[in-house]
Structure 1
Amino acid sequence: MGVRLRIMGGLFIGLILAGCSADYGVDQHGQKVSASSLDGQWLVINYWADWCPPCRKEVPEFNRLVKEQQGKPLRVLGVNYDGLRDAELSKAVDDLGIEYTVLADDPAKRFDLPHSEALPVTFIVDPKGKMRERLLGEQTAAGVQARLAQLQQEEH
């Protein structure tokens, strides 16, 4: 009985630990987004909708941010506010010219992100997975970079 209980306990703990680094689902191309590709980095998570004019205006800014931060431990992620998936999500991403990863599955629970009724909304999550900032309204690459620099400075 004792051995069986220890095995079951070990399996349970293993499942819990595996859940901590579970993958992020798929992106706008149906490709798996692995936890190892995102965990341990700063994340800029932007919620958008194709019917939202400020969301459309900030897409080039996030594309610029991705290019300017290339090679640094930072990932920009999009999340469609309306929960579009598959071909609908892919079409909306193409129509808006989004060049960064858009998650089909909302990561809000994973990072304990509050629900927002207003768009656009952007969250900055630190490498430990803790939400550090909620930015409401249209963002610029320079504004997000400045806020990231401040948050990163606070880490040291």
Structure 2
Amino acid sequence: MITKALRVGLFAVSLLLVACAPDHGNDQYGHKIDSAQLEGRWLVINYWAEWCGPCHKEIPELNALAKTNPEIRVLGVNYDHLEGDSLLKSTEKMGIQYTVFQDDPATLFSLPVSNVLPATYLVDPQGQYREKLVGEQTATAIQARIAELEKKGQ
């Protein structure tokens, strides 16, 4: 039997744990990005824009990577800082099927600034930034690079 005091204590502990989880903001639909879905797996964070020709070619590759690799989480960031309905419409127009951050996560993951698109950042399962890939990427190339980083223990 759970006492009232124990229930209150468990509730307080759960609130503290939630408060300690990093805030990753919201996605293109306005839903909170759950940190539990990001932890313990490789993150592929891709910066894109509608006006970027190579971005249009790359997005189907990123969609495929997101669908076929549960150990990898593909995330997008709009380079032009679109928000709300503008961001949602742009992701739909681009055919993006993975999560897109409403706010730039660069500070959360210590990502260096990129002045060129597309730019793709690899973040390891421990949350450490590992590498920046510039230009159009393929799912195969990203998987190969992650495998190389894992092999090197980096």
Normalised TM-score (structure 2):
0.84
> What's the C-alpha RMSD, in Å, of the aligned pairs?
1.7
Runs (4 or more) in structure 1 with deviation over 4 Å come to: none
How many angstroms apart in 2 are the aligned matches of 1:130 and 1:119? Answer: 22
Tell me, yes or no, if structure 1 residue 133 matches structure 2 residue 110. Answer: no
Q: Deviations over 1:2-38 (max 9, x none)?
A: xxxxxxxxxxxx79x82xx312111011111011111
CA distance in 1: counterparts of 2:29 and 2:153, whole angstroms? 34
Find the counterpart in structure 1 of residue 27 from structure 2.
27
With 87-96 and 34-43 compared, the bigger mean Cα shift is at: 34-43
C-alpha displacement at 1:143, in angstroms? Answer: 0.6
What code does the residue aligned with 1:81 have?
Y
Residue 52 of structure 2 aligns with which residue? Answer: 52
Match of 2:90 in 1: 92
Partner of 1:118: 116
Number of equivalences = 138
Q: Indicate the residue corresponding to 2:77 in structure 1.
A: 79
Kindly state the Cα deviation for residue 153 of structure 1 after the two structures are TM-superposed: 2.0
TM-score (norm 1): 0.83
Match of 1:64, SS?
A: helix
1:95 CA displacement = 0.2
Structure 1, unaligned runs of 5 or more: 1-13
Deviation at 1:129, TM superposition (A): 1.1
The match for 2:153 is 155
Of the three residues 138, 143, 146, the one matched with 1:145 is 143
**For 1:61, what is the secondary structure of its paired residue?**
helix
Q: Which amino acid aligns with 2:102?
A: A
1:41 positional shift: 1.4
